[in-house]
């Protein structure tokens, strides 16, 4: 299967790392040309380091240290480009494989590991400034698009966008996939976003497969056109091109923050690995297809581009070392993770006291204590 590319697709970086922009990319070129060498190297570093982490997490699952792992392998450019386009005051709502988005915003990767190890349903506090307004992973497909829209409504109602001060104006970016795009919640979120002109970007990573169901079954039209039907200006970008992903996200977020209403982006990418570690993609897709996408790998593309610009061996060696260090650190800290106290099961079910929860907490304490007494 090949992706359904629209003539309106924005791409600036060809698979061989050369700059070869599509016609639709023309308006975005000034943004890309303004990027410094440090910015470009930052993008590459983000992508390469998270891939090392992602591989380590997959290994940890294989070794029984995690219950499940949803790999981000192959989708790094879409995620890095969009997350780097966000400003510190923006809120980000991931679905469940936006590992590098979380990392860029400051979330400790171990907090994601904790979720997959069965130690928490959340693991980080989105409202703690160190986590960069990154909200929790959501496993029910598309549910978070409504939460993102509601938060964006609150920004619009409170006048926290469209003031003309880009340092202060806020926006929301919400991530979901081609599978989630079939969910009613996504459409309802878009309707509400359009109705209330929310400062919000819907960022769809079309990775071509909703577990085993291809996007061709999900949609007869390029998915970005659905946004247009609802009245949301929408665009399709090569999600394996970090520069294009950055530029379109930057423009969409700027427009949203400026009070121009919601925007939608469909990033054409590919899930190179399994849906999760429980999945077996060899049952539903061909080696030829995987190979064709491997040739469009987002990291290799950027590596060739940077090489062409004269990036040093030392830079690439340093990135590789950083990836290895993160992976090693995560492995060490994962196996050392604490276990939970049984009473934690009752914590935070409600924000205020609840007699049934209190009763059961007390019962469990007595029950556990009875074994201790018996042993003494």
Partner 1 sequence: MTDAAAPAPITLPISRALNAGMRRAMEESDRVLLMGEDIGRLGGVFRVTEGLQADFGERRVIDTPLAESAIVGTAIGLAMGGFRPVCEIQFDGFVFPAFDQITAQLAKLTYRHEGALQLPVVIRIPYGGHIGAVEHHQESPETYFTHTPGLRVVSPSTANDAYWMMQQAIASPDPVIFLEPKSRYWVKGEVDVAAPALPLHASRIVRRGTDVTLVAHGAMVATALQAAALAESEGTSVEVIDLRSLSPVDYGPILDSVRRTGRMVYAQEAPGFVSLGSEISATVMERAFYSLEAPVLRVSGFNTPFPPAKLEGVYLPDADRILEAVDRALAY
Q: Binding of partner 1 at residue 341 (CB under 8 A)?
A: no
Stretch that binds partner 1, among 150-158, 272-280, 304-312, 319-327 (CB under 8 A): 150-158
Sign of the Cα torsion 238, 201, 105, 36 reads positive
Selected catalytic residue, list 117, 135, 263, 271: 271
Is the CB of 317 or the CB of 337 nearer to partner 1? 337
Write down the least CB distance from residue 124 to partner 1, Å.
Answer: 9
**Considering the complex, what minimum distance in angstroms separates the CB of residue 75 from partner 1?**
24
Q: Which residues pair with 238 in a beta bridge?
A: 268
Instruction: Please tell me the distance from the alpha carbon of residue 212 to that of residue 208, in angstroms, as a whole number.
Output: 10
The DSSP result for 250-286, as a single string, is HHHHHHIIIII--EEEEEE----S-SSTT--GGGTS-
* Residue 251 lies near partner 1 (rule: CB under 8 A): no
Asked whether 123 and 115 are in contact (CB, 8 A), the reply is yes
Q: Residue for token digits 């780097």?
A: 84
Which residues are CB-contacts of 49 (< 8 A; sequence separation ≥ 6)? Answer: 103, 319, 322, 323, 326
CB of 213 to partner 1, least distance (A): 20
Residue 349, interface with partner 1 (CB under 8 A)? yes
Binding residue (CB under 8 A) for partner 1 from 17, 106, 150, 214: 150
Tokens of 256: 């949203």
- Of the candidate spans 296-304, 326-334, 344-352, 366-374, the one that interacts with partner 1 by CB under 8 A turns out to be 344-352
The residues in 175-204 that bind partner 1, with binding defined as CB under 8 A, are: 184-185, 188-189, 191-192, 195
Active site residue 284: yes
Beta carbon of residue 72, minimum distance to partner 1 (angstroms, whole number): 21
| 155 in contact with partner 1 (CB under 8 A) | yes
Instruction: Return the range that interacts with partner 1 (CB under 8 A); candidates 32-40, 148-156, 273-281, 312-320.
Output: 148-156
Query: Site size for partner 1, by CB under 8 A?
Result: 40
User: In 3D, which of 106, 202, 204, 69 has the Cα closest to residue 147?
Assistant: 202
Residue list 83-122, contact with partner 1 (CB under 8 A): 120-122
Q: Which of 77, 78, 92, 148 is the binder for partner 1 (CB under 8 A)?
A: 148
DSSP symbol at 19: B
Q: Are 193 and 202 in contact (CB under 8 A)?
A: yes
Structure token digits, residue 292: 């064709």
Query: Is residue 357 involved in binding partner 1 (CB under 8 A)?
Result: yes
Let me know how many helices (H) and strands (E) the chain has, helices first.
Answer: 14, 7
Q: Check if 271 is active-site.
A: yes
Residue whose entry in the numeric block shows the structure tokens 């990319």: 25
For residue 236 the two structure tokens come to 């399709």
Q: Active-site residue numbers?
A: 271, 275, 284
Residues forming the site for partner 1 (CB under 8 A): 120-122, 125-128, 136, 140, 143, 145-155, 157-158, 184-185, 188-189, 191-192, 195, 347-352, 354-357
């Amino acid at each position: 299967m090949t992706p359904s590319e629209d003539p309106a697709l924005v791409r600036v970086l060809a698979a061989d790392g050369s700059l070869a922009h599509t016609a639709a990319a023309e308006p975005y070129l000034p943004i890309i040309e303004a990027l410094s060498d440090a910015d470009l190297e930052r993008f590459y570093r983000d992508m390469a380091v998270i891939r090392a982490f992602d591989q380590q997490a997959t290994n940890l699952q294989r070794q029984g240290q995690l219950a499940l792992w949803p790999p981000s392998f192959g989708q790094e450019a879409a995620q890095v480009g969009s997350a780097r386009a966000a400003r510190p005051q923006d809120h980000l709502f991931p679905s469940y494989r936006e590992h590098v988005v979380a990392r860029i915003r400051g979330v400790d990767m171990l907090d994601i590991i904790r979720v997959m190890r069965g130690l928490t349903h959340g693991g980080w506090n989105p409202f703690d400034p160190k986590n960069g307004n990154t909200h929790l992973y959501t496993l029910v497909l598309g549910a978070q698009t409504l939460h993102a829209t509601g938060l964006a409504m609150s920004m619009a109602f409170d006048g926290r966008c469209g003031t003309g001060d880009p340092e202060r104006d806020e926006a929301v970016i919400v991530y979901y996939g081609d599978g989630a795009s079939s969910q009613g919640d996504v459409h309802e979120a878009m309707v509400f976003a359009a109705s209330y002109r929310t400062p919000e970007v819907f960022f769809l990573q079309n990775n071509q497969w909703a577990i085993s169901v291809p996007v061709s079954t999900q949609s007869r039209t390029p998915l970005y056109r659905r946004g247009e039907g609802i009245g949301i200006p929408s665009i399709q970008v090569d999600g394996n091109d970090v520069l294009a992903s950055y530029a379109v996200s930057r423009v969409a977020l700027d427009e949203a923050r400026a009070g121009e209403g919601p925007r939608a982006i469909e990033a054409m990418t590919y899930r190179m690995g399994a849906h999760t570690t429980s999945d077996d993609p060899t049952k539903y897709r061909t080696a030829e297809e995987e190979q064709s996408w491997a040739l469009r790998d987002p990291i290799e593309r950027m590596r060739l581009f940077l090489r062409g610009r004269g990036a040093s061996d030392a830079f690439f060696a340093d990135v590789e070392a950083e990836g290895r260090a993160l992976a090693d650190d995560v492995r060490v800290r994962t196996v050392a993770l604490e276990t939970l106290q049984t009473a934690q099961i009752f914590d935070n079910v409600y924000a205020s006291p609840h007699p049934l929860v209190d009763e059961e907490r007390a019962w469990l304490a007595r029950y556990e204590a009875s074994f201790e007494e018996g042993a003494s």
